[in-house]
Chains A and B, each alone.
Chain A
Amino acid sequence: MTSLFDDFGFVAVVLQGFGFIAQSVLVGATFFAVLVVPRDTRDSVAIAARKASTVVEVAALATIVVALATALLTAGMLVATIQLAWRDVASAPFVLAAIAKVAAASVVGTRLRNPDAGPSARMTSIAAALALIAAAAADSHAIARLDHVAPLLIATYAHQLGAGLWLGGLPCLWLTLRDADPATARRIGRRYSTLAATGVALIVGAAFVFAFEYIGSFEGLYGTAYGAMAGVKTLLLVLLLMLGFANFRTLHGALPDRVAVPRVRRFVELEIAAGFAVLMAAASIASSSAAVDVVADRLSLPELAARMAPAVPAFESPARDALSPIVAPGTVTASRTAGDRAWSAYNHHVAGLVIVLIGIAALLRHRRRLRWAAHWPLLILLLGVFLLVRADPEIWPLGSVGPFESLGDPEVLQHRLFVLLIAAFAIVEWRVQLGRIASPRMSRVFPLLMVAGGALLLTHSHAVADAKEQLLIEMTHLPIAVLGVVAGSARWLEVSTSHGEGRVGREGRVARYVWPVALILVGLILLEYREA
């Protein structure tokens, strides 16, 4: 049952992240359709209205599916673990909140399906979108707090509304920039700027309330998982603000439409990627205990400094026999031996070294004499094989369990499938690097996965018995997550500005150096990895 609970925890956080994304996009698309797209019968405006309606429909459906899935998952968990009857779970507050979300999303989805919806349908949709956020706030940290529930509920409402207005409106903006004529797209983009600025103000205002109520002190910021995640989220928000500001200047600047619009569209793509990561980080924060409540297991600055102090990485693996035995199911206690820690450190160090090499090769690949460096994706395959062998040492070739026999264990199967997936993506990227795949879509697979990987790493915590050790490990993983998002976004930008045969636009020329450097930094962090 423990593992069921662990898996439930991970799935619940990921679902919550998807829920935030779907809800934000639905709210953003609703406001975009009603307030940003002008009431105009011209064809070019009608395109933007149609696109917004489509986004509303898709986001409403996604909101409904995720709300139902989340409620069913939690309900099922309660039924499975403490044998509650389904009828007793049905009246739980989280179920009622899910029903309210489904109802609100259904209203928006049906009322705004028609791009020519009248004033009544438009106003009803705005009201339903606002009700959706109310339902979400009623299911948030704030509602369970012992003190200051009302101001925290208001702040949560403002924060989520702000996320919807700003980040949630980005997909509609992107579609408009892509499909409408440049002059109309720019006009709509300028109107969206007002909505986005309102969203930013709401997000930042609420963040101050959260910092005061949930973090409380500087020690809470660096010494707890909640504080560290909030710090990462703030960093990503600053990146987003910079992108948003650049877009604002371009839209309101003197560049001609045909130059300004494609540039803004490329930056909006990056904003969407960072926004996705921010919302996944928000889900992780929403699942953590508030920093003010974590008193006993806080990290001190000396503990952090000691862990972050540079050390020479060890490239010596302990023998397989040095690992603690995999004990029988049902045993409760677990302690990691020095052998386990050394085994894990060795894995991280080798992975770090290979990723540094990948970054260096990616940096060098454009030099005429070093074209062979474009084969760098093959290093990913090598790393995949290494981890395939090392991740499950009890399995052949290191252990005695047969490779096919081991696939009966869902976790081993999961490892194997992930590595297979990585191998497939590495081969695609290899062919992209060699110019054998010219499809822009396929070129975007790899950067997309880097962003997704970074964002998912933000939702990820470690099942280590010692809370401080767990936090120290997470502190090393959070920068990796941010760097993953940065690397993926930069590679995406490089691909977006590519004119073929290795030629890229101005932003792309910068981006082509940013992502390999980000990968090198990831590798260096892994090389410094250690456990106490």
Chain B
Amino acid sequence: MGHRRTARRTRGSRCVSLLLGAFVAAAAEGALAHALVMSSTPAANATLRAGALPIELRFNSRIDAKRSRVTLRAPGGAEAVLALKIDDSRAVLSGSAETRRAGDWAVVWQVLSLDGHVTRGEVPFRVEDATGK
């Protein structure tokens, strides 16, 4: 139901929720944004050459790595789960992968921070082949 519900929400649900907000109760919309990626490798919207890809996500809060997941989404949508390492600060998740195809890729993350909040997001980037396409 990905975009279908999102589109409807931005158009209609807010208005219903405002009526409810003013008189009754707000409708269900919510987006947690607790853990934030402060910096990443690759950087968001970077363009890279195909090949080995070191991945590092630096968060603003300490992460429960055992209960977090980072995947690499290839052009076409296939996702591969990364084996994760975490540093001593417990705020940096890292791993490595290989990008063989040109196109739009993304590092997709879902983390549980130590305060029990689950957050997700993605870092999109582009991969070019040797010819720069």
Q: Decide yes or no whether A326 CB sits under 8 A from chain B.
A: yes
Question: Taking CB as reference atom, which chain A residue is nearest B89?
Answer: A146
Across-interface contacts of B120 in A (CB, < 8 A):
5, 81
Inter-chain contact B29/A419, CB cutoff 8 Å: no
Considering only CB atoms and an 8 Å cut-off, how many residues of chain A contact the other chain?
99
Contacts A3-B5, A343-B11; is A145 near B25 (CB within 8 Å)? Answer: no
* Number of B residues with CB within 8 Å of any CB on chain A: 56
Does the CB pair A390–B12 fall under 8 Å? yes
| Complex Cα gap A5–B109 (Å) | 13
Q: Which residue of A lies closest to B38 (CB)?
A: A293
Q: For A384, what are the chain B residues with a Cβ–Cβ distance below 8 Å?
A: 19
Contact check, A411 vs B16: say whether CB atoms are below 8 A apart.
Answer: no
Interface of A is mostly: helix
Contact indicator per residue, chain A 271-297, by CB within 8 Å of chain B (1) or not (0):
000000000000000011110011000
B4, B7, B112, B115: the one within 8 Å of A78 (CB) = B112
Known: A81-B110, A144-B115. A348 touches B6 (CB 8 A): no
Which of A77, A89, A344, A411 is the one whose CB lies under 8 Å from B5? A411
Cβ of A383 < 8 Å from any Cβ of B? yes
Q: Tell me the bound Cα distance from A481 to B91 in angstroms.
A: 35
With A10-B28, A392-B12 in contact, is A288–B33 under 8 Å at CB?
yes
Q: How far is the CB of B85 from chain A (nearest CB, A)?
A: 17
Q: Which applies to chain B's interface (DSSP): helix, strand, loop or mixed?
A: mixed
For the A-B complex, the count of residue pairs with Cβ-Cβ distances under 8 Å equals: 247
Which of chain B's residues have a CB closer than 8 A to the CB of A393? 11-12
Closest Cβ of chain B to A92, distance in Å, is 6
For B1-33 the 0/1 string (1 means CB < 8 A from A) is 111111111111111111111111111111111
Closest 7 CB pairs of A and B: A10-B30, A94-B116, A391-B12, A457-B21, A9-B30, A144-B61, A293-B60
22 pairs, A vs B, C-beta closer than 8 Å: A10-B29, A12-B118, A81-B110, A88-B67, A89-B67, A92-B116, A324-B7, A332-B2, A334-B6, A334-B7, A355-B22, A387-B15, A391-B15, A411-B5, A418-B27, A453-B21, A453-B25, A457-B21, A457-B26, A463-B10, A477-B18, A477-B21
- Residues of A with Cβ closer than 8 Å to B? 1-3, 5-13, 74, 77-78, 81-82, 84, 88-89, 92-94, 97, 139-146, 225, 287-290, 293-294, 323-324, 326-334, 336, 340, 343-344, 347-348, 351, 355, 380, 383-384, 387, 390-394, 411, 414-415, 418-419, 421-422, 425-426, 446, 449-450, 452-454, 456-457, 459-464, 470, 473, 477, 480-481, 484, 519, 522, 526
